[in-house]
Amino acid sequence: MTALHAFDIEQAMNQLGFLRLGAFRIFVLAITTLLISATSSVFGSPCDALKAKPDVWVGGQVNALVLAAHAWYERDSAERAYGVVIDRIASTVRKCALADDKNFRDRYPQFLDLVTTLALARRPDHELGFTVTDETYFAETRQYVEIPAFLLTPAFLRAVSRYETLPQAKAMLRQLNATRSSADQLIFFSYESRHLGTPDNPDSFRRLLIVVPGNADQRTPEKWVQFGITDPGARAHVRNISVVSAVPGPDSTTNVYFKDYFRTYGRTGAITIKGRWELGEGDDNCASCHKSGILPIFPVAGSVIRDELPLVEKVNERFLNYARPRFDKYLDTTKLGPGLGSNVLQISSNQSVQCSECHHPNKLGSLNWPMDRTIISSYIKGGQMPYGFRLTSIERARLYRRLVQDYFAIDEAKPGILKSWLLGKSRTPESP
């Protein structure tokens, strides 16, 4: 055993539950102390030993990170254990100043980039997962994510608060369109989401989507505003309103910005709106779901009325115009690595699939970690991805399992996409 093993021995034992016994804990600490002392005479400290021979330590931490990420992807209950792993690795990186060590940085740049990015998102003031605090993000992006004033009138807010009065809300939107130019027409329809509830109610799937056109020449954001809608006959209100905005960026990219709002329903009938984060209701990591920035809409079959079906296709055509999604200066997604489906998978004798043909940084964004199981599973098993493939439900379920395994595998002989990238074994960029 070396000091590299001693460096993490107690934490590893803690995770396995071995340190519940006081005597064993003392024994482990004694052995750890002896190992560190013996190695210190050669390397000076555990950090010196790690830097002198980083491969063993990095290999172990990469396996731990990928295993923990895979576990959390599959089971929400594994989130806490995942956090422990990220915090432990980030602590060692910080204590040993590995990011400042040129040799280590040159050898494992991807590992440092991902760990640093994931560790930042663990901080309570970085719930959005961005490089700045949540407070700073909302202050700096306010102009892009404000709800348009014409959607905040008391009459409209009352009408859009319930399923039963939704036709009244749509009538008001049609009246607004009568006064707007042809290029500035609101596109709106109601639907039921296949997979996503609202932040305030995970069992609420009904939405009213309103796309408010922007102006690329004036850098005016195009806003996708979604109101959560109650189920028919439900008494409890749905509070959430989400705004996702697209703004043309440099080099034909599209910068995307996010904000959730909550409605508060007063006893007098008044409805007030304030940011979810400002209300102290927390927030979510935006990039874990919004890999493409704005997401296409795939409603539950039969949930969109016939007259509005062409509008679903219309907004999805607009989605395709938001090329090369970016998160402005707030997140560099290349630090999250290549995505699910970066390798070609043979799915039949005459069919193969490679998700990264579309999902790469210069098209629809990579499907990389952190990512949302519900969305990925729904798109693949529900038939939306891979686009243009006619597969049976059994074939789609099999493809989904293979894609996930191919991404998270830690086999030494055939490592998966994430592990290979973290170890620098696949430095070739994804095809543009």
Domain count, the chain: 3
Instruction: Quickly count: other Cβ atoms within 10 Å of residue 98's Cβ.
Output: 23
Between β-strands 254-265 and 325-326, what pairing exists: parallel, antiparallel or unpaired?
A: parallel
158 in any annotated domain: yes
Q: Which two tokens stand for residue 139?
A: 């202050």
All residue ranges of the chain with pLDDT < 50 are 1-3, 5-6, 9-41, 427-432
In a 3-state reduction of DSSP, which class is residue 157?
helix
342-362: string of b/e by CB count within 10 Å (b at 16+)? bbeeebeeeeebbbbbebbbe
Beta strands in 300-365 (DSSP E): 325-326, 345-348, 351-353
Q: Which two tokens stand for residue 146?
A: 């404000």
Rounded Cα distance between 274 and 131, Å, is 24
172 in any annotated domain: yes
430 in any annotated domain: no
Domain limits for position 403? 334-422
Rg (CA), the chain: 25
Q: Which two tokens stand for residue 408?
A: 């998270």
Rounded Cα distance between 296 and 384, Å, is 10
**How would you classify residue 94: left for phi > 0, otherwise alpha for psi between -120 and 50, otherwise beta?**
alpha
> Are residues 293 and 185 located together in one domain of the fold?
yes
pLDDT of residue 295: 85
Rounded Cα distance between 99 and 133, Å, is 21
168-198: string of b/e by CB count within 10 Å (b at 16+)? ebbebbeebeeeeeeeeebbbbbbbbbbbbb
> Are residues 318 and 342 located together in one domain of the fold?
no
> Are residues 114 and 174 located together in one domain of the fold?
no
> Are residues 268 and 145 located together in one domain of the fold?
yes
pLDDT of residue 101: 93
pLDDT of residue 294: 85
| Token pair 């369109």: residue | 177
Task: Phi first, then psi: give them for residue 32, nearest 5 degrees.
Answer: -60, -45
Domain boundary among 126, 149, 178: 126
133 in any annotated domain: no
Burial of 143 (0-12, 13-18, 19+ CB in 10 A): exposed
241 in any annotated domain: yes
Query: Residue 293 gets which letter from DSSP?
Result: S
CA 162, 163, 168, 169 torsion: positive or negative?
positive
427 in any annotated domain: no
> Are residues 10 and 31 located together in one domain of the fold?
yes
> Are residues 146 and 266 located together in one domain of the fold?
yes
Task: Phi first, then psi: give them for residue 156, nearest 5 degrees.
Answer: -70, -40
In a 3-state reduction of DSSP, which class is residue 263?
strand
> Are residues 303 and 356 located together in one domain of the fold?
no
Q: Which residues contact 307 (CB under 8 A, 6 or more apart)?
A: none
Compute the CA torsion angle 153, 158, 159, 164 (nearest 10 deg).
Answer: 170
Burial of 310 (0-12, 13-18, 19+ CB in 10 A): exposed
Domain boundary among 296, 326, 356: 326
> Are residues 68 and 203 located together in one domain of the fold?
no
Distance in angstroms between the alpha carbons of the first and the last residue of the chain: 45
Domain boundary among 126, 154, 184: 126
Q: Which two tokens stand for residue 246?
A: 């697209």
